[in-house]
């Protein structure tokens, strides 16, 4: 998949026969970042003891994370050119390959998500479903050991951070695309994933106190995301001519309206303004706000992936 699009002179407008990323990669990048943010938030809730409250959102996030990450990996699998050889990612590890790192990070994420899921199982599960009594006992033993709970929380936050940054490095490692050629894509995608995860968690949270905390956290993530976007453009505009031309795709080019309306405006600035009012109790919390944030996170991936494939180095 990577070798077919990393040639430095590839231009999809000139070479339409070469492989071009479609909807699968943006969906994979978004879901990977979303799950990464959910793991970090779940780890924080575990460290602060929120898992002791059976109504906490942290009990629902791991199961949803497994489902969402599996959907993202399915999207990635659909994009692979040679699907029957996907197993080779686990037999040949390349230190400089983001795909090699990503494959193993994704493999390690599942056990941590499962351990987090066990911590949230109802204590009466064994009584209600006798066939699951063994799983219920394991979950109870895990809950009774604070050291193991802490280890699960730290592992989840660490792997979540690696997964979120990896989704950006997957693009920035492709130097043939000037728009992607920025070290800020890793932190940008991580913060965007945290913002989407806070918004998603806000939708599933039941406690007003927890909703308020998630809204406040999301405000911080949105501010950081806007700051990183500003630094991203500064880096492009202060670099070479091809990087300036790549930035022009979003600053007057074909993706300008989509980027500024759906990513910056409706996806970040408007939700930030409304959530500031919500946490100050000027207005009520509304599910519309987190939906806008999630839509903005999806739009960010689609715009950067599609616009990045149009950016290219001028042929000799």
pLDDT digits 0-9 by tens, 116-157: 999 888 877 766 777 778 888 888 888 888 899 999 999 999
Q: Are 90 and 107 in contact (CB under 8 A)?
A: yes
Is the model more confident about 97 or about 4? Answer: 97
Residue 55's pLDDT is 87
Crossing angle of the two packed helices 24-47 and 185-204, in degrees rounded to 10 = 70
What is the topology classification, in CATH, of domain 24-310?
A: Formate dehydrogenase/DMSO reductase fold (1.20.1630)
pLDDT at 314: 66
Helices (H) and strands (E) in the chain, counts: 12, 0
Contact 156, 116 (CB under 8 A): yes
Residue 16: per-residue pLDDT: 40
56, two tokens: 């906490």
Can you read off the two tokens belonging to residue 78? 């659909």
Dihedral sign computed on CA atoms, order 179, 233, 75, 292: negative
Q: At what angle do helices 133-143 and 146-172 cross, to 10 degrees?
A: 90
Question: In 125-149, which positions are buried (b, 16+ CB within 10 angstroms) versus exposed (e)?
Answer: bbeeeeeeeeebeebeebbeeeeeb
Per-residue confidence (pLDDT) for residue 99, from 0 to 100? 74
Whole-number pLDDT of residue 100 = 75
Residue 262: pLDDT band (50, 70, 90) is very high
Residue 10 or 179, more confident: 179
pLDDT band at residue 84 using 50, 70 and 90 as cut-offs: confident
Whole-number Å distance between alpha carbons of 10 and 175: 11
pLDDT grade for 232, boundaries at 50, 70 and 90: very high
Burial class (CB in 10 A: 0-12, 13-18, 19+), 230: exposed
Q: What pLDDT is stored for residue 19 in this prediction? A: 54
Give the tens place of pLDDT for each residue, 196-209.
999 999 999 988 89
Q: Does position 80 have pLDDT exceeding 80, yes or no? A: no
Closest CA to 1 of 164, 163, 160, 173: 173
SS3 93: coil
Q: The tokens of 171 are what?
A: 């693009």
Provide CB contacts within 8 A for 219, sequence distance 6+: 272, 275, 276, 279
Length of the chain: 316
pLDDT of res. 179:
93
Mean pLDDT of the chain: 87
pLDDT band at 217 (very low <50, low <70, confident <90, very high): very high
């Amino acid at each position: 998949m990577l070798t077919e699009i990393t040639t430095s002179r590839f231009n999809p407008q000139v070479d339409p026969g070469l492989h071009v990323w479609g909807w699968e990669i943006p969906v994979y990048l978004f879901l990977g970042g979303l799950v990464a943010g959910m793991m970090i938030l779940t780890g924080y809730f575990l460290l602060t003891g929120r898992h002791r409250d059976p109504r906490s959102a942290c009990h629902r996030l791991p199961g949803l994370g497994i489902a969402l990450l599996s959907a993202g990996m399915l999207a990635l699998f659909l994009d692979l050119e040679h699907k029957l050889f996907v197993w080779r990612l686990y037999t040949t590890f390349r230190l400089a390959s983001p795909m090699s790192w990503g494959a193993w990070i994704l493999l390690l994420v599942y056990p941590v998500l499962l351990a987090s899921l066990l911590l949230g199982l109802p204590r009466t599960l064994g009584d209600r479903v006798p066939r699951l009594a063994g799983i219920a006992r394991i979950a109870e033993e895990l809950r009774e050991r604070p050291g193991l709970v802490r280890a699960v929380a730290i592992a989840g936050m660490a792997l979540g951070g690696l997964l979120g940054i990896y989704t950006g490095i997957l693009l920035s490692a492709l130097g043939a695309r000037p728009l992607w050629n920025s070290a800020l894509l890793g932190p940008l995608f991580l913060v965007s994933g945290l913002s989407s995860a806070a918004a998603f968690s806000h939708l599933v949270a039941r406690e007003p106190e927890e909703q308020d905390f998630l809204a406040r956290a999301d405000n911080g993530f949105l501010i950081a995301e806007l700051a990183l976007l500003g630094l991203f453009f500064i880096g492009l505009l202060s670099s070479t001519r091809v990087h300036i031309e790549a930035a022009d795709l979003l600053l007057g080019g074909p993706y300008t309206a989509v980027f500024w309306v759906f990513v910056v405006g409706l996806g970040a600035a408007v939700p930030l303004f409304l959530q500031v009012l919500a946490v100050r109790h000027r207005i009520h919390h509304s599910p519309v706000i987190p939906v806008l944030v999630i839509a903005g996170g999806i739009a960010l991936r689609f715009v950067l992936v599609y616009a990045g494939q149009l950016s290219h180095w001028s042929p000799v």
